[in-house]
Amino acid sequence: MGIVLSGRRIGACDALCWRDEDHLYRCGAITQPLQVVYGCLPQRLRWAAPLFAWVLQRLAHRWVAAGVGCDCDAQVADL
């Protein structure tokens, strides 16, 4: 899913979002699907973002859990 959302195979997924209140990363496809979809869509398709976000959020729950969580290997560094 991250390859589709980010458009690349290397690096952190664009949907990976830091949550200050939890002090951890969450999958934006689940927590903020509208913002993730809006950022991924070309300008001419952004009118359909709410529909795509609704579908993405439902599928993301299943797809992220299919591999027992997000497979992103980003590490949080203590500063």
**Predicted local confidence at residue 22, as pLDDT:** 82
Average pLDDT over residues 16-27: 84
**Predicted local confidence at residue 78, as pLDDT:** 65
How far, in Å, CA of 5 to CA of 36, rounded? 8
Segment among 2-6, 17-21, 64-68 with least mean pLDDT: 64-68
Please answer whether residues 14 and 5 qualify as being in contact, where contact means their C-beta atoms are separated by less than 8 angstroms: yes
**Predicted local confidence at residue 61, as pLDDT:** 80
Q: Is the pTM of this model over 0.75?
A: no
Structure tokens of 70?
A: 């997000």
Q: Which residues contact 7 (CB under 8 A, 6 or more apart)?
A: 14, 40
Query: How many CA atoms are closer than 13 Å to the CA of 4, on its beta-carbon side?
Result: 6
